Amino acid sequence: MQIAHIKENGTIQTIQQHSESTAEISSSFAISELRRLVYQTALIHDLGKYQPSFQKRISGENHIKIPHALCGAIELKHIMKPSFEQFLMQYCIAGHHTGLQDFGNPGDEQITLLGTLEQKTESYEIYKKDISFTSPDIEIEYFTKNCRDHQEIGERFAFLTRYVFSCITDADSLDTEAFCTGVKREKRNSDFSECLSKIEQRFAGFQPTTDLQKARSSVQNQVYEKINQEGEIFLMPMPTGSGKTLCSMKFALERAIKQGKKRIIYIIPYNSIIDQTAQEFERIFGDSLQMLRHQSNFQYEVEDGFHEDYRIWANKAIENWDGDFIITTAVQFFESIHHNKRGKLRKLHNMADAILIFDEAHLMPTEYLSPCLKGISHITSILNSEAVFLTATMPDFHTLLEKHGIEGQKVVDLVTDTSEFSKFRKCDYINLGYVEMEQILSIAAASKLIVVNSRKKAQEVYENCDGEKYHLSTYMTVNDRQKTITTIRERLEALEDEFGEDVPEDKRVTVVSTSLIEAGVDLDFHVVCRELAGLDHILQAGGRCNREGKRKGATAYIFAWHEDFGKMSTPEKEITKGLLQEFSDLNDLECIQQYYERMLRVKADEITKHKLKVHQKKPFQINFKEYTEGFKFIEDNSYSIVIVEDVEELQGINQYTKIDTRKYQKYMASVKPWEFEELFKQGVISDFGTGVFFLTNLDYYNKETGILFAIPEYII
């Protein structure tokens, strides 16, 4: 009997049982064109376990070290001819534990595919008594379909390899888990029809009476009229305040029901927006929607309000997105497409037969735009999914997808009549030019938002403000930011209820923030002051001004600090400066179009900076590991520091302590490398040998402004 796994009670799972079960599960995940290939790959993924030394090891001789993942890949050299499918299968089998490898060269000492294929193994021929392999024989045209050159062939091959790897590694994990625990995973299904009914009831409660409400209804109806239109990628440009979040959800629910899609995946750029969006969905859909949240600062173990069985399901389902409604960040989504490790790629196969909604689609990083669009195009053209791009400031995605997507892809505009957009312009933009701080602080308003470009400047402006004031930046922990946003919302609503437009001067509220407030933070201010930045940032900040359209003559001021006059500027700022001179209304669609055209022209090289490197003669030679190591979706050179409420909690931590970083996600703040060095020199941070840094002197943290870099004078 050849053993694959042994339970603690001595129960055995044979290699044949595990291989056949993994093959069945993985092929059930796969699209029809790849089902046979996936089955055969999974069937031989564990041939190395037939080696005598592996059998000794699993039977208790733990000192024996014997790799097993390479054998199936080596066997394919003998039983298949060189082909796209052979290399694909070899990548998947050789890396099914350690991750997809680089192609490499013959004789490589480091772990590469070619190096792996030349390694010596013990005999595993006995597998032929248990397992009958049949070559999948996929036509080469499947690997070259809709590809214009070798670059696109290589990109398609890489995507298909990751997808097959996803099917196999997830099935491998699930079968092993089921055998070892004796429990199969619970399934939780949403009732999309009930969800659709609830959101329609919500919309039915909005009877449009004002011009703005009628315009909102008109724009949304354009989207609903195209529910049955054929397409793969749908563009939904909708102004701030037009109800695009709920509109996109209604569209997705109807498409999912009518097109028979398995799941909806809602992709959001920032954690702060997820919190707000998830809460809104929970209020509307209740138990009808089995929402699975996957974001870095949200852990089911530490969040309140979940039943234990729901926590157990969610913590397991996050591993492979085994749910029918997932709400996640762009970082999680795109890293799960372009990674090489099984922990990330297990999710990829569950992106098939889905509706993908990309909220604030314009925020895809320019440097990663080409691989992002290519990944979306592969999912929609190969995996039978559909994507919705949702944003108030829409770049020319038609041109971008034509250049960086898949040839012949069907892209549909859901909103074609923009004549009502002008009714969503709730404030005027006035350019103040270069100013001193006193000019910004002296602008009178019942409630005022000041948005600046740096965290240091936000702290400085905040310290100089009088009256009731609030501060937001990533110097603060996630927990303190969330609490502050909630307090600000409650204060603004209370002042509105009590005083309306005539808030007394001594009751007025000022909020100073970095750009984190711009996307998805649903706050409404009388006046917004925005430091010069890219047009998209200015318009997003302006969306916090007179958000409900109740006030006449609302103003968003644009300014630059006088101290920055003559200093180096960014392309985004320079292009916006030009547009401020050319256009009287920054909300003009021509202005927005010009901004993106000029930006994309200036950053043409950046767009393709991180595209996959493909061998021009052998497009199957992909360096998966190398590419993953260079794919950092957020180019974040910051350090995270944990701020605990009680320093005594740190006393028991030492180099042997296992730190669960998930526990501390909400209590982390970020600093730049030079700021980190400054804190380290002052001796106020330590990792205690664990690799996770904690603030050891709480005098260097203020709940209002976040991390401080010098001890306050009053403490001295």
Nearest Cα to Cα of residue 390 among 234, 582, 226: 234
- The Cβ-side half-sphere exposure at 604, using a 13 Å CA radius, reads 6
For the ranges 295-304, 449-458, 474-483, which has the lowest average pLDDT?
A: 295-304
Structural contact between residues 400 and 369, judged by C-beta atoms closer than 8 angstroms: yes
φ and ψ of 172, to 5 deg: -60, -45
- Give the span between the Cα atoms of 197 and 243, in whole angstroms: 17
In the three-class reduction of DSSP (H, G, I as helix; E, B as strand; rest coil), residue 157 is classed as: helix
pLDDT: is 551 or 342 the higher one? 342
State pLDDT tens for residues 148-157. 999 999 999 9
The C-alpha atoms of residue 191 and residue 187 are separated, in whole angstroms, by 13
Closest C-alpha to 19, from 127, 160, 164, 165: 127
pLDDT of residue 240: 82
The 10 Å Cβ neighbour count of residue 184 is: 10
Lookup: tokens for 101: 């490898």
3-state secondary structure of 499: helix
428-435 and 447-451 as β-strands: parallel, antiparallel, unpaired? unpaired
Contact 470, 492 (CB under 8 A): no
User: In this structure, which amino acid lies at residue 514?
Assistant: T
What SS3 state is found at 45? coil
- Residue pair 101/624 in contact by the 8 Å Cβ criterion: yes
Show me where the domains of the chain are located: 3-181, 192-421, 426-586, 639-707
Please give the structure tokens belonging to residue 518.
């711009």
Q: Which of 489, 492, 483 is nearest to 521 (CA)?
A: 489
| Contact between 2 and 55 (Cβ < 8 Å) | yes
Angle at 655 between CA 654 and CA 659, to 5 degrees: 80
Question: Rounded mean pLDDT of 328-354?
Answer: 95
- Of how many residues is the chain composed? 716
Whose structure tokens read 């192609």?
Answer: 103
Structure tokens at 78: 């003998």
| Average pLDDT over the chain, rounded to an integer | 91
Mean pLDDT of 43-60: 94
What b/e readout covers 316-340, taking b as 16+ CB neighbours within 10 angstroms? ebbbbbbbbbbbbbbbbbbbbbbbb
* Non-local CB neighbours of 207 within 8 Å, separated by 6+ positions: none
Give the whole-angstrom CA distance, residue 178 versus residue 131. 22
The secondary element (H helix, E strand) that includes residue 220 is helix 211-224
Paired residues of 235 in beta bridges: 389, 413
Q: pLDDT value at position 299?
A: 61
Cα dihedral 338→263→272→591 (10° resolution) = 80
Residue pair 571/599 in contact (Cβ under 8 Å)? The answer is yes
**Cβ neighbour number for residue 287 with a 10 Å cutoff:** 9
Tokens linked to 641: 């520091």
Average pLDDT over residues 550-555: 85
Please tell me the distance from the alpha carbon of residue 304 to that of residue 103, in angstroms, as a whole number: 46
For residues 110 and 114, give the distance between their C-alpha atoms in angstroms, rounded to a whole number. Answer: 10
Percent of the chain with pLDDT over 70: 97
pLDDT at site 177: 94
10 Å Cβ neighbour count for 558? 22
The better pLDDT of the pair 672, 645 is held by 672
- CA R_g for the chain: 28
- DSSP label at 424? G
User: Which range, of 120-129, 439-448, 500-509, averages the lowest pLDDT?
Assistant: 500-509
pLDDT of 636: 57
- What stretch of H or E contains 642? strand 639-642
172-228, pLDDT tens digit by residue?
A: 999 999 999 888 888 899 999 999 999 999 988 888 888 888 899 999 999 999 999
Of 308-312, 535-539, 693-697, minimum mean pLDDT range: 308-312
Residue written as tokens 């209002």? 704
Exposed, middle or buried, 300 (CB in 10 Å: 0-12/13-18/19+)? middle
Strands (E), 147-242: 233-237
Q: What does the pLDDT look like over 368-414, one tens digit per residue?
A: 999 999 999 999 999 999 999 999 889 999 999 999 999 889 999 99
- Would you give the distance in Å from CA 10 to the centre of its chain? 42
DSSP 8-state symbol, 326: E
* 192-421 and 426-586, same CATH topology: yes
Q: What is the pLDDT of residue 716?
A: 46
321 neighbors 292 (Cβ within 8 angstroms): yes
CATH architecture for segment(s) 426-586: 3-Layer(aba) Sandwich (3.40)
Superfamily of domain 192-421 in the CATH hierarchy:
P-loop containing nucleotide triphosphate hydrolases (3.40.50.300)
Distance CA 558, CA 541 (A): 10
How many Cα atoms are found within 13 Å in the side-chain-facing hemisphere of 621? 11
pLDDT > 80? residue 302: no
Q: How confident is the model at residue 664 (pLDDT cuts 50, 70, 90)?
A: confident
Q: Is 67 helix (H, G, I), strand (E, B) or coil?
A: coil
Beta strands 386-391; 447-451: pairing state: unpaired
**β-pairing, 555-561 with 428-435?**
parallel
User: Please, are residues 348 and 376 in contact by the beta-carbon 8 Å criterion?
Assistant: no
pLDDT tens across 105-141, in order? 888 877 899 999 999 999 999 999 999 999 998 999 9
Scan for tokens 């992709």, then name that residue: 267
